[in-house]
Amino acid sequence: MDYQELPDRFLVAIGGNATHPAGSKDTAEGQIAIANATGRALLPLMELDNKLVITHGNGPVVGKILMRQIIAQGRVKPSKLDICVAHSQGEIAYLLMQALENTLREAGNPRHVVCLLTQVEVDPDDLAFKNPMKPIGNFYTEEEAQELKKQFGWIMQEDANRGWRHVVPSPEPRHIVDISLIRAVTERGAICIAGGGGGIPVVRNTKGARKGIEAVIDKDLTSALMANVLGIEHMMILTSVPRVAIHFGTQKERGLDNISLSELQSYHAEGHFSPGSMGPKVEAAIRFLKRGGKSVIIAALEEALPALRGEAGTRITKN
């Protein structure tokens, strides 16, 4: 897929660690600076005459929302995890929406950016509720993790040799509520931010009534499902690392540039991709391609344009 021949429908999934990288300042000014940098990175794509959907992760932010609640619980009753997801979805999307539009205006482009609060239905009997594996929040030392486990009852796991993190249930996305509205927004020419944090997890009863359930859905799996349902054939996953790698974190580490679906499936089966970091991105790419997608690019946020040109990142195709 050449940069000059980009399709008229495209989905970009921005990782939570890309919008809130390790070491970033936990201030409004710091978050605004990151959102502005995201706008600059995505400007070439936003200026194309395309139907563009943007999703984003929330792992670091929703974890910090939980931590704030724990600290303040003596004065304010904590919210359920699904409400925290909604909180993070609105917070991140607001900053992205403003930054993307400001970037477009500076370039003289009148295109609008719209954010849709997105619910995603899951199965209440999903096995993920018995086996929490989704890492959220900060990285901690093992000693800090054990203290948090003792103090708050959190389940803590090591995350890809980078430290310890709080893990929560991450059920499979089954249905994106009101996806027709996402289609309608993009058909009118606006950029649509949707499915933030994988969507607000909800379950539906036999009468069709929905209620929230405590979990954090993987945003890459939701993004792949959303793209497939919308008939989008090309997807980009932007994260905090330059490309997919095998033997990650070892002396044998090797980055992957262009790779076929079958090759990626083989590496995935061999266990090269951590379930807490690159694993869900690889799984999402596999599902997307097997359900009708044509290509997936996985790259660093700041290298979005070079990745589109085939000069950076990992490009995965069916053949």
Q: Which residues are catalytically annotated?
A: 16-17, 134, 219, 281
CA–CA gap between residue 287 and residue 235 (Å, rounded): 12
CA–CA gap between residue 314 and residue 87 (Å, rounded): 32
φ, ψ (nearest 5 deg) of residue 94 = -60, -50
C-alpha triplet 50, 53, 57: angle, nearest 5°: 150
CA–CA gap between residue 305 and residue 12 (Å, rounded): 12
The DSSP-derived string for the chain is --GGG--SEEEEEE-HHHHS-TT--SSHHHHHHHHHHHHHHHHHHHTSSSEEEEEE--HHHHHHHHHHHHHHTTTSPPPPHHHHHHHHHHHHHHHHHHHHHHHHHHTT----EEE---EEE--TT-GGGGS--EEEEEEE-HHHHHHHHHHH---EEE-TTS-EEEEE--PPP-EETTHHHHHHHHHTT-EEE--GGG-EEEEE-TTS-EEE-S----HHHHHHHHHHHHT--EEEEEESSSS-EESTTSTT-EE-SEEEHHHHHHHHHTT-S-TTTHHHHHHHHHHHHHTT--EEEEEEGGGHHHHHTTSSSEEEE--
Cα within 13 Å of Cα(123), Cβ side: 7
